[in-house]
Structure 1
């Protein structure tokens, strides 16, 4: 069986070495096999699969507790399929809300840039239109900032 060092596992998973140690310490992964003489961690392909999955969840904003639940449900297989679906759906809904918020922020920035462009060009009609667009956007901005 081919194994890899913590450096290799870090590089391939996208997780830092301290994160790999932390995930093992809190029981999210492992226990990871150790070399007999040096006691250095040796990761196998199955460990790497788990690390890559955790890296994906982490990059999507999934917290440690939900990663624990995901891992536990993963081990249970189809008997926990509904709970897995619900967990992932909940996070998908959170990401959708974040996307909507970012879209509002993006539109605000674009209109604000148009306002300053109109000012630079001395075009008062375009500046007034941009101001009006910004005024119309304020309630939406306030709603997402809560």
Structure 2
């Protein structure tokens, strides 16, 4: 739930302390996959601080929401390592990885460029497969 103050917060009136209240919001991924855009290529992101649970959490999200892929990473390595987990990986297959070397990071490469390139390739394959399996109307 989002609520906004009607007026500017007066810094002199807060006694040096400002409180921020966060509220949980409903997840929309399941509704997105099932009702809003069921024919779309949908991915989600999973960021963890514990590497030992990342893959299981990503696989769990795929089973729960039924989307196409999860891009996961661990906070400590988020700029140099990501995993792509797919529904077919829920049977134990190893996920795809993107790893940047120290040299690549030092030269200014960003992992996001590699993520986008991989997603563009996967989306093109998804669209091509959809076009070959659709029946003419």
TM-score tier, shorter chain, comes to under 0.3
Normalized per residue, which structure has more strand? 2
Normalized per residue, which structure has more helix? 1
- TM-score with structure 2 length normalisation? 0.28
Bigger CA radius of gyration? 1
